[in-house]
Amino acid sequence: MVGLPARGKSLIATKVVRYLHWLSITAKTFNVGQYRRTATPTPSADFFDTTNPEGERLRRAAAEAAVNDMCKWFRDGKGLVAILDATNSSKTRRKWIQERCQAENIETLFVESKCDDEDIIMQNILDVKTTSPDYAGQDPELAAADFRNRIRNYEKVYETIDETNERNLTYVKLIDVGKQVIINQIKDYLQSRVVYYLMNLHIKPRSIWLSRHGESQYNLTGQIGGDASLSDRGELYARKLPELVQQSVGDGRKLTVWTSTLKRTIQTARFLEFEKLEWKALDELDSGVCDGLTYGQIEEKYPDDFAQRDEDKYNYRYLGGESYRDVVIRLEPIIMELERSENILIVTHQAILRCIYAYFMNVPQERSPWMEVPLHTLIKLTPKAYATMEERLKADIPAVSTFREKGSRAKHQEAQEAAQEAHDKQKA
């Protein structure tokens, strides 16, 4: 990373790490500030004055320690992408990093966040004064004032990446959070993916709403996959959804509704008076030969597969179908589009919702396929600087549970007879 303090460097680093983890690429941030804090826990702005030789020496030592650990991390084969989170604000410092990496055969991509928008900087300063460990326990006003002085000290020596003298570096310069982007000497696929991701980020406040389709006929019979219509209770949820959304979204806020191409999501969204978009990429995980079967039938017909799936549900690919890993790959354009967009409501399926949720909430792979996402519930996610806030709104409409715990054929199956009875009664 390159840039003055309060330019969102750590935020960008956090998002990139989360995105890479979601794509199964091991990534880790090395934050030079944390190294510096072990020697100097709560420095004042003077510490960052370049004419202060002791401060200069300690800050240099922190950078060296971070880079050493980072190189070791690569050497030990611990991961694929490391982010060196620091200001790295002089040409000399960048040259040093570039040479250290080159010696270790590590490709570099310098990501500079350059921002002169005072509103954004002030917002970042306000975040920092309340969250940075550098100011733990201090008066927020004094902290903000000190932090502004620290920035001024950095400004004295700050050199933006030079488009002429540093033209041999691979870099991306993000100016005013994506208003302008300069991309230089991108060399490989991973760099191009990260750059495309960075291009699409914005920081306008917004929320994302997630809902599964209403209970379907297949949910009642305990079958997976297929393209069934809603059950009567699912239909009730569809009719209730506009009210639920209104309650969560508030008045006058515009949003766009995304559904899959399957009947149950389109039916669920059909009473919402917003623009709608159908995405094939939002279709349920393809269960291949098991499509249309119940978990009980799968266990009977494909006992080995059933057990295998429990062992590593993330990687298990249904015969002729998909794994969670496959789903993540096809969801990537959706995530990219979500990053670009503002308020979006997604009506989709259990496995798909788990994957999208895992991206925003940073859920590890081994856990995400086992998350319980109940039917007839609206989830609201609001991305904040370092985490995503979550609210859940339940519609008071009963539904079968389609959640199956590891090693069981569980609720889904047990509820089946009861549900079938209820269904038969409704029909009668």
Which residues are identified as catalytic?
Answer: 85, 213, 284
Q: Which residues, 6+ apart, have CB-to-CB distance to 259 below 8 Å?
A: 265, 266, 268, 269, 276, 277, 278, 279, 282, 346, 347, 348
Please count the CA atoms within 13 angstroms of the CA of 326 that sit on its side-chain side. Answer: 16
To 5 degrees, how large is the angle CA 72–CA 365–CA 301?
A: 135
Of 289 and 361, CB closest to its own copies: 289
- Token readout for 274 is 């917003």
Which lies closer to its own copies via its Cβ, residue 184 or residue 420? 184
State how far the Cα of 212 lies from the Cα of 194, in Å rounded to an integer: 30
Kindly indicate which of the ranges 40-48, 194-202, 240-248, 346-354 contains the residues binding its own copies, using the contact rule CB under 8 A.
Answer: 194-202
What radius of gyration do the chain's Cα atoms show? 25
Residue among 176 and 417 whose Cβ is closer to its own copies: 176
Among 60, 179, 253, 394, binds its own copies (CB under 8 A): 179
79 is in an annotated binding site: no
Q: Does 108 bind its own copies (CB under 8 A)?
A: no
What is the DSSP code (8-state) at residue 179? T
273 is in an annotated binding site: no
- Sequential DSSP letters for 339-390: HH-SSEEEEE-HHHHHHHHHHHHT--TTTGGG----SSEEEEEEE-SSSEEE
| 105 among annotated binding-site residues | no
Say how many residues make up the chain: 428
Residues 301-320 within binding reach of its own copies (CB under 8 A): 319-320
Nearer to its own copies, 3 or 5 (CB): 3
Judged by CB under 8 A, the chain residues 398 through 427 that form the site for its own copies are none
Report the residue from 49, 64, 159, 227 that binds its own copies according to the rule CB under 8 A: 227
Residues in CB range of 90: below 8 A, 6 or more apart? 157, 158, 159
If DSSP codes are grouped into helix, strand and coil, which group holds residue 208? strand
| 138 has binding-site annotation | no
Is residue 185 part of the contact set for its own copies (CB under 8 A)?
yes
3-state secondary structure of 38: helix
Who contacts 68 (Cβ-Cβ below 8 Å, separation ≥6)?
A: none
Q: Which of residues 276-295 bind its own copies (CB under 8 A)?
A: 280-281, 286, 291
Report, in Å, the least distance between residue 191 CB and its own copies. 10
Taking Cα atoms as reference points, which of 254, 168, 268, 152 lies closest to residue 219? 268
Q: Applying CB under 8 A, which of residues 200, 248, 256, 377 lies at the interface with its own copies?
A: 200
Write down the least CB distance from residue 427 to its own copies, Å: 25
The DSSP H or E segment spanning 31 is strand 27-31
Stretch that binds its own copies, among 46-54, 252-260, 321-329, 391-399 (CB under 8 A): 321-329
- Strand, helix or coil for residue 122: helix
Positive/negative CA dihedral, 357, 359, 360, 361: positive
- Which 326-345 positions form the footprint of its own copies (CB under 8 A)? 326, 329-330, 332-333, 337, 340
Nearer to its own copies, 159 or 339 (CB): 339
Q: Is 235 exposed, middle or buried (0-12, 13-18, 19+ CB in 10 A)?
A: middle
Site for its own copies (CB under 8 A): how many residues? 34
Nearer to its own copies, 192 or 362 (CB): 192
Minimal distance in Å, beta carbon 140 to its own copies? 35
Does the annotation place 270 within a ligand binding site? no
Shortest reach from residue 216's CB to its own copies, in Å? 15
Q: Is 80 in the site for its own copies (CB under 8 A)?
A: no
H or E element in which residue 156 lies: helix 140-157
Select 122 or 182, whichever has its Cβ closest to its own copies: 182
264 assigned ligand-binding residue: yes
Residue 142 has φ and ψ, to the nearest 5°, of -65, -40
Q: Is 229 annotated as a binding residue?
A: no
Residue 58 CB, nearest approach to its own copies (Å): 36
Residue 181 interacts with its own copies (CB under 8 A): yes or no: yes
Q: How many CB atoms lie within 10 A of CB 162?
A: 11
Residue 68 contacts its own copies per CB under 8 A? no
Provide the minimum distance between the beta carbon of 122 and its own copies in the complex, in angstroms, as a whole number: 22
Which CB sits closer to its own copies, 157 or 181?
Answer: 181
Binding residues for substrate: 212-219, 264
Residues of the shown chain interacting with its own copies in the complex, contacts defined by CB under 8 A: 163, 167, 178-186, 189, 192, 195-196, 199-200, 225-227, 280-281, 286, 291, 319-320, 322, 326, 329-330, 332-333, 337, 340
